[in-house]
């Protein structure tokens, strides 16, 4: 099927690549279909794009939070797992949405509301963690790597 996107042009994708978010994302409740795309086609990257399959202009940068916060704690209850059709012991992908400001060295990941993806079934949901001291704006780079004067491009 054809997918029109603002950032990546017109893509030829397969229906099975689409991930269903039956609840959408917080603030984007109608955005129920996304596709994952490489962040940079020529370079290996810890980031990916999550492009809406409904709104051509809408795309998020996502990353694996465990790469930056190895002891990140995401505990899903059985109830939560059922929401994305996961069996109790079935593995799943965890991704955090990344915010990249003009000074990109100050990019942050939202550790409070991770995205859980059931790759097998192509289902996903943004969960809100409770009882955790995580931040919606967790700096991905340590202070010494953040440059106050970095140019945006």
Partner 1 sequence: MLVLTRKIGESIKINEDVKITVIDVKGKNIRLGIEAPRETKIYREEVFIRIKEENQTAATSHQFDPTKVSQLMKDKIKK
Site residues (vs partner 1, CB under 8 A)? 7, 25-28, 39-40, 42-47, 58-61, 63, 67-68, 77-79, 97-102, 104-105, 107, 110, 112-113, 126, 128, 130, 136-137, 140-142, 145, 152-153
Residue 87 near residue 116, CB atoms below 8 Å: no
Give me the least distance between CB of 18 and partner 1, in Å please. 19
Show the DSSP H helices in 11-147 as ranges: 78-83
Residue 98 near residue 108, CB atoms below 8 Å: yes
Closest alpha carbon to 92 in 104, 100, 84 = 84
Give me the least distance between CB of 122 and partner 1, in Å please. 21
Question: 26 or 120: whose CB is closer to partner 1?
Answer: 26
Give me the least distance between CB of 113 and partner 1, in Å please. 5
**Number of other CB atoms surrounding residue 79 within 10 Å:** 7
Question: 1 or 38: whose CB is closer to partner 1?
Answer: 38
Phi, psi at 53, each rounded to 5° = -95, 0
Give me the least distance between CB of 8 and partner 1, in Å please. 12
């Amino acid at each position: 099927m054809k997918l029109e996107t603002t950032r990546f042009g017109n893509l030829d994708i397969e229906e099975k690549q689409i991930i269903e978010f039956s609840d959408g994302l917080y603030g984007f409740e109608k955005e129920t279909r996304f596709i994952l795309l490489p962040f940079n086609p020529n370079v290996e990257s810890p980031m990916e794009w999550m492009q809406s399959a409904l709104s051509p202009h809408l795309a998020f940068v996502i990353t694996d939070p465990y790469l930056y916060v190895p002891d990140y704690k995401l505990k899903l209850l059985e109830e939560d797992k059922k929401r994305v059709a996961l069996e109790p012991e079935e593995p799943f992908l965890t991704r955090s949405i990344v915010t990249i400001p003009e000074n990109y060295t100050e990019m942050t990941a939202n550790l409070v509301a991770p995205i859980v993806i059931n790759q097998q079934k192509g289902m996903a949901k943004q969960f809100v963690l409770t009882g955790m001291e995580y931040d919606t704006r967790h700096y991905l780079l340590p202070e010494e790597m953040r440059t106050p004067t970095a140019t945006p491009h």
